[in-house]
Amino acid sequence: MIDDKKVLFSGMQATGNITLGNYLGALKNWVTLADEYETFYSVVDLHSITVRQDPAELRKRARNLLMLYIAAGLDPKKNCIYYQSHVSGHAELAWILNCFTYMGELNRMTQYKDKAAKHADNINAGLFTYPVLMAADILLYQTDVVPVGKDQLQHLEITRDIAQRFNAIYGDVFTIPEPYIAKTGAKIMSLQDPEKKMSKSDENPNASIYLMDDKDTIIRKFKRAVTDSLANIAYNEEQPGIKNLIDIYSVCSGKSIEDTVKEFEGKGYGDFKLAVGEVVADKLVPIQERFHEYEKDKAFIDSIIKENAEKANYYAQKTLRKVQKKVGFPDKIR
């Protein structure tokens, strides 16, 4: 708790262009929940280097991502939006938690298995202990709730296990966090292969809608979206492409799944795809406009980066000192 408010933490990697999946699965919910909680939204650049990055590119993407958080509707004066690398407590706590995490647990992580298969030439120890750093992110702020997409549930589980294990030995040190998964939009699928999640690291640009895509591009990508030959707009597992488009339309328009199906019953796929494109563009264009405004206001963004890093550091240090004491590190001589 901070000032009687529960704490919310979440983060995203600056590894590529943010997709509609990231927005609907995570960022959009962050905005909805922001008022209710004391919030920390991090650009998790330490996580990003588990996969090789070009330094100049990483720096640019990380700044763009930070500006996108703000452009999406998070007020940086109320929400602590900051770079993970500006708060050394993340790495320090991660080290300690590494000593409370088992190889067997990490070996079971599906994200690790997927990424290791994708980057067979660079299966580094950071990739393996990625979930421990994520646990440190969350536990450092005594977080109550973590809004994420469905793919991150396993990482939340291991975070809870590590926290409970630590608490069992040293007493009530960490708050045990709960995941928050939205009912719709928690898993947006690729437009080119609706059996696969939409991912910013997909090589095929037509598989994803990027948050910065212009309206024509958005509509063109939806027109090309892979569907089926049943010519029937219905919400079921046999029609994953159409199901995905219904999900997207429903979250972006605020209408329920049932109302969406009713609205398009009997209509052709072409008309439906166009309507999905329109509603998505209506959501994204205002975000893009705000983003371009912030791009011009370097001094404002810089001041946000500085102030929020200080705020995050303050809370991080509080937890870190407690943990260091518990495990038996000597007090610093001041």
Write down the least CB distance from residue 33 to ligand ATP, Å. Answer: 13
DSSP-assigned states of every residue in 208-273: --BTT--HHHHHHHHHT----SS-----STT-HHHHHHHHHHHHHHT--HHHHHHHHTT--HHHHH
Query: Interacting stretch for ligand LTN, rule CB under 6 A, among 9-17, 74-82, 164-172, 268-276?
Result: 9-17
Cα separation, 130 vs 158, whole angstroms: 11
Spell out a b/e string for 14-30, using b for 16 or more CB atoms within 10 Å of the CB, else e.
bbbbbbbbbbbbbbbbb
Nearer to ligand LTN, 61 or 155 (CB): 155
Region from 148-156, 265-273, 296-304, 321-329 binding ligand LTN, contact rule CB under 6 A:
148-156
- 239 CB-side CA count, 13 A: 16
The yes or no reply on residue 129 touching ligand LTN (CB under 6 A) is no
Q: CA–CA separation, 224 vs 248, rounded Å?
A: 15
Residue 103's DSSP bridge partners are: none
The residues near 169 (Cβ < 8 Å, ≥ 6 apart) are: none
Q: Which residue's CB is nearer to ligand ATP, number 21 or number 194?
A: 21
Q: With respect to ligand ATP, which residue has the nearer C-beta, 81 or 148? A: 148
Residue 71 or 320: the one with the smaller Cβ distance to ligand ATP is 71
Q: Select from ligand LTN, ligand ATP, none the partner in contact with residue 312, using the beta carbon and a kind-dependent cut-off of 5 to 8 Å.
A: none
Bridge-partner residues for 180, per DSSP? 147
Closest CB to ligand LTN among residues 43, 281? 43
Contact set for ligand ATP, span 36-95 (CB under 6 A): none
Stretch that binds ligand LTN, among 4-12, 32-40, 250-258, 290-298 (CB under 6 A): 4-12
> Rounded to whole angstroms, how far apart are CA atoms 138 and 159?
8
Maximal CA-CA distance, the chain: 75
Q: Does 137 bind ligand LTN (CB under 6 A)?
A: yes
Is position 284 an interface residue for ligand ATP (rule: CB under 6 A)? no
Which residue in the shown chain puts its C-beta closest to ligand ATP? 25
Q: Around Cβ 326, how many Cβ atoms within 10 Å? A: 15
Tokens coding 103: 């190889």
Size of the site for ligand ATP (CB under 6 A): 21
Q: Looking at 7, 8, 9, 245, which residue binds ligand LTN (CB under 6 A)?
A: 9
Contact status: 76 vs ligand LTN (CB under 6 A): no
Sole binder of ligand LTN in the list 43, 44, 93, 304 (CB under 6 A):
44
Catalytic residue among 6, 150, 187, 200: 200
Q: Measure the CA–CA gap between 175 and 143, rounded to whole angstroms.
A: 6
Task: Tell me which residue has tokens 């260091």.
Answer: 324
What is the spatial distance between Cα 317 and Cα 334, in angstroms, rounded to a whole number? 16
Which of 200/311 has CB closer to ligand ATP? 200
Q: Binding of ligand ATP at residue 13 (CB under 6 A)?
A: yes
Residues that bind ligand ATP (CB under 6 A): 12-13, 15-16, 19, 21-22, 25-26, 148-149, 151-152, 186-188, 197-201
Residues that bind ligand LTN (CB under 6 A): 9-13, 44, 47, 134, 137-138, 146, 148, 152, 155
Q: Which residues are catalytic?
A: 115, 197, 200
